[in-house]
Chains A and B, each alone.
Chain A
Amino acid sequence: MQIFHPSTNTIAKVSIYGAVFFVAGLLWTGNEIQRSSYVTGVGVARPQPVPFSHKHHVSGMGIDCRYCHTTVETAAFAGMPPTETCMSCHSQIWAESPMLEPVRASFRTDQSIQWTRVHDLPEFVYFDHSIHVNKGIGCDTCHGRVDQMPLMWNVKTLQMEWCLECHREPERFVRPREEVFNMNWRPPVDQLTLGRELVRKYQIRKLTDCSICHR
């Protein structure tokens, strides 16, 4: 007596093959979700208590990053401008603007402005701005064209594969130290030649040990 019709053989075979594709598909979907901007926030501008525009201040007025992010060359933390820094100009410019009321309120009451963090590594990762800046990695390699952002967003995932991509081959990304703050610098056609030369000159190592970042 036959319980299964012969056609079920095909179904069984197909479902075995199918399972492979199904699992692969699941893995692929997981991978895509993990790298999507839904998880990483890439390209999503965050709302801020004051609509501070880097576009206005950096490309519009040519103010250097270090006017506000003062410790970026000397410390791990890039530094956030205290309210006094805003007030060094906005005591007179747009001094009545309602958009700037939170800044003035902060100045009057000595309460901090609470910016929404955009780049936020997990706390088991150690990151240090000063070494990157001093070894010739430009701000826009990691933060993109900040001077074109009316509100801040992140252009890189900040995932481990991204850090490692550069730590394995720094010659693909380094630039002369003088150009670190220059948002308009573009890599030359023979970046690798320049890169190898700079890697030698700045004595850049290939830091891929786990304990470099997880310490």
Chain B
Amino acid sequence: MRRSVLHGGAPVLLCLLAAGCRQDMHDQPKYKPLAASTFFEDGRSARPLVPGTVARGHLKVDQHLYAGRMGNEPATTFPFAVTRAVLERGRERYNIFCAPCHGALGDGEGMVVKRGFRHPPSFHIDRLREAPVGHYFDVITNGFGAMASYASRIPTEDRWAIIAYVRALQLSQRATLADVPAEERKRLERLP
């Protein structure tokens, strides 16, 4: 009798033991991104950077690219050539990050504004049409009045791509038939 309890019981016990290990492998003593920590006082495993730290390859000396400034003035030109790919990227990023408030056309009639957010100015007013690209870069990077900074969410190159797309939007709203190439004009005229 004793024997058989041992024979029956031992495998069951071993299985239970192994099941215990299984849970250990599920929850290993390592941090997944943003997991809570009991070690650090603020409970975060993701540590903030020590102020003044510069990661390798991230020394941002190019004032034009990283600050949108040329000397002491806001930059008036793009730090890299604006190609079709840059514009496409800009459109995509604009629709993600700006359109909720500024609207797909840049007229400031976005969905969030309709729900009560402060009304941003249209990009098609003269002041903003004439503002240098460096001003836009500054607004995205540092925020402006009620608008928060988007620097942590939009990488530098993407910010410039968005600005290029805003410029395209501005052109589009004042375009006349004369701006359209001849072969495309025919197609437009045929539209109802």
Contacts and interface: CB of A to CB of B under 8 A. Distances in A.
Interface of A: 61-64, 66-67, 70, 76-77, 80, 82, 84-85, 87-89, 91-93, 110-112, 114, 122-124
Determine the main DSSP class of B at the interface with A. loop
Interface in B58-95: 95
B19 to A, nearest CB: 13
Contacts of A80: 34
B30 interface: yes
Given A92-B117, A93-B112, A124 B100 contact: no
B13 interface: no
A33 to B, nearest CB: 14
Interface of B: 25-28, 30, 32-34, 36, 42-44, 95-97, 100, 111-112, 115-118, 146-148, 150, 152-153
Contacts of A67: 96-97, 100, 153
A77 B45 CA distance: 15
B148 A91 contact: yes
Determine the main DSSP class of A at the interface with B. loop
Given A61-B100, A64-B96, A67-B100, A91 B146 contact: yes
A76 B152 CA distance: 18
Given A77-B33, A84-B152, A61 B111 contact: yes
13 contacts: A61-B100, A64-B95, A67-B153, A76-B33, A82-B152, A87-B148, A88-B150, A91-B148, A92-B116, A92-B118, A93-B115, A110-B42, A123-B28
Contacts of A87: 148
